[in-house]
Structure 1
Amino acid sequence: MTLGGNDPSGGAGLVADITTIVSLGCHPAPVVTALTVQDTHNVHALLPVEPAQLLAQARAVLDDMPVAAIKIGLIGSAENAGALHTLLATYPDIPVVLDPILAAGGGTELASPKLLDTLRTLLLPLVTILTPNSVEARRLAPEADTLEACAMALLEYGCRYVLITGGHESTGEVINTCHGNNRLLESYRWARLPGHHHGSGCTLAAAIAALLAQGQELEWAALSSVVRRAQDYTWHALQASHRLGGGQLLPNRLFWASTHRGSV
């Protein structure tokens, strides 16, 4: 099950999640948290659904289908975050991957201070894997002076693992780091690709959720292969990106099946 916003450009949000999940061999069950007005440049309007509508969508599926993993992206409002806390607390055995979308790639703010506080206090204790980029990690843990300190602070809030992605840093390679058990578990280095990509964080988190849904254990000895495989899939989707609009590149999440790219 993936909970997120609808992006009419198809680059991020639920469309990105659905394509990723299908590409990795799972069935997606999408729950709309918000409608957006956006293109490949930026988000121009955010229209959250009502918390009761969010819960009704999710419960209809959870009561009917064997959901094996939950992925959360754009939440839309602090009230929706509270509703998600209620939902996740009812299903404590389903692993949760949270991509904390706090701002659009074009800069539009997507998370109020109240939503940030609700994320920290109500949702992070129920999250299996948190996947912030470095900017999001610093916003969620503003008291920390390094990215490793951010990860430790986020673990203190209660999530089990924190995978911080380094695409926004100035390093030659993209360096991602995964933390758990109050320590750095593994560091990953990926060749930095040219351009800016729309929906890379959605792709990574959805890939982790899809692989978790296939019965992976949550102890690090088994989970490490899931985290690495999801990053590898995401890197190849970004490498195969195409330009369909005037802004950011759109990842090709079906890169392995595509012989022609560039058409809407």
Structure 2
Amino acid sequence: MSARSSQACPIALTIAGSDSGGGAGIQADLKAFSALGVYGASVIAALTAQNTREVRAIQDVPPAFVRSQIQTVFDDLEIAAVKIGMLSQPEVIQAVAEELERYGARNIVLDPVMVAKSGDKLLADAAVDNLRRRLLPLATILTPNLPEAAVLLDGAEPGTPEQMLEAARALLALGPKAVLLKGGHLQGEESADLFCDGDQELWLPAPRIATRNTHGTGCTLSSAIAAGLARGLEPQQAITEAKAYISAAIEAADRLEIGSGHGPVHHFHRWW
């Protein structure tokens, strides 16, 4: 009897918080990786008691344990891409930056989760400064929304396409190789994101979809981009395919009945 054939599988790592409700954070990242043909590994930086209606409690993970998780994963697995989500502690940000540098991590997608849907800042000023100084220069692609861009630039939130363009250029000057500035907070029938890498500035429009089930949209988009990079796609192609994936996942979200609040997008819409 012949041995069963095997093939190399691209591996992506998510460094983020856990969502006990399964719609965002680590759970959303791993679902997106799997849906897009990539094996997912994880480093948990925070725990949340969360469902579709609320976040009841947050428990930070000690920086030394975050560091140990990263080391243990990189010592064994061939990581082709890294997605970074919310890191709330300055010491955790420092640990993540140091370990990614030490292991020469590549294809880093940084989703700087810093502002709650209520508009409240989730990160203290010291954490924002560490994020800006230590992680932005390591990022292959930075994926902020408009409120997050305002925090990173310590300025007003962009309110027009022209202001988005100015903000994207300013963010690029902080060190990432490319920026995908998400324009979902602007008004209009379309939600247009802006890709900027210093050589080109490209608008990526998508129709707005009427649904309340959008929990984890940002996490899913950034992890889908990381999955594309892990599979060897160039940044612009990875972003284009990730946007198509998240648009379809949002469009199919109402086929799920998960919780009584803001439900998740449908990560497995192609198969279920």
Both structures adopt the same fold (TM-score exceeding 0.5): yes
Query: What amino acid sits opposite 2:194 in the alignment?
Result: T
Percent identity (aligned): 36
Partner Cα distance (2:126, 2:54) in 1: 23
The one-letter code matched in structure 1 to 2:270 is W
SS at match of 1:256: coil
- Whether 2:205 is the aligned partner of 1:193: answer no
| Secondary structure of the corresponding residue to residue 255 of structure 1 | coil
CA contact (8 A) 1:243 1:250 kept: no
- Letter aligned with residue 49 of structure 1: V
| Aligned equivalent of 1:31, options 32, 37, 43 | 43
> Corresponding residue for 1:16?
28
Q: How many residues align?
A: 252
Q: Is the 8 A contact 2:82 2:107 kept in 1?
A: yes
1:247 is aligned to 2:261: yes
Pairwise CA distance, 1:213: 0.5
Q: State how far apart, in whole Å, the 1-side matches of 2:90 and 2:257 are.
A: 34
Q: Distance in 1 between matches of 2:155 and 2:88?
A: 24
Structure 2 unaligned residues grouped into runs of 5+: 1-12
Call closer, same or farther: CA 1:243–1:76 in 2, change over 3 Å.
farther
How far apart are the structure 1 equivalents of 2:81 and 2:151?
26
Q: Is residue 2:183 matched to residue 1:171? A: no
- Equivalent residue letter for 1:202: C
Is 1:157 the equivalent of 2:174?
A: yes
AA of the residue aligned to 1:193: I
Give yes or no for contact 1:46–1:110 (8 Å, CA) kept in 2. Answer: no
The DSSP-based 3-state class of the residue aligned with 2:40 is coil
The Cα offsets for residues 231-259 of structure 1, whole Å up to 9 and x where unpaired, read as 0001111111134122213101000001x
CA-CA distance at 1:38 after TM superposition: 1.7
Matched, 1:257 2:271: yes
Instruction: State the SS of the aligned residue for 1:206.
Output: helix
Who is 1:234 aligned against? 246
- Counterpart of 1:219 in structure 2 is none
Structure 1 residue identity aligned to 2:271: A
1:205 matched to 2:222? The reply is yes
Give the C-alpha shift of residue 94 in structure 1.
1.3
Q: Is the 8 A contact 2:79 2:105 kept in 1?
A: no
Larger radius of gyration: 2
**Contact residue 129 and residue 161 of structure 1 kept, 8 A:** yes
Aligned to 2:54: 42
2:139 — aligned with what?
A: 127
Structure 1 length-normalised TM:
0.90
Paired amino acid for 1:208: I
CA distance in 1, matches of 2:52, 2:119: 12
Deviations 1:159-203 (A, max 9, x none): 01110111121122001110111x652101111011341100000
Residues 138, 147 of structure 1: 8 Å contact kept: no
Q: CA deviation at 1:106?
A: 5.2
1:99-123 Cα offsets, whole Å, 9 max, x none, are 1111333556421111111111111
Return 5+ residue gaps in structure 1 as ranges: 217-221, 259-264
Which is worse superposed, 139-148 or 8-17? 139-148
1:186 aligned partner, one-letter code: L
One-letter identity of the residue aligned with 2:97: H
Q: Aligned partners of 1:113, 1:138: CA distance in 2, in Å?
A: 13
| Counterpart in the other structure of 1:89 | 101
Q: 1:29 to 1:19 in 2, by over 3 A?
A: same
Q: Read off the aligned partner of 1:79 and give its amino acid letter.
A: E
Indicate the residue corresponding to 2:7 in structure 1: none
2:196 partner SS: strand
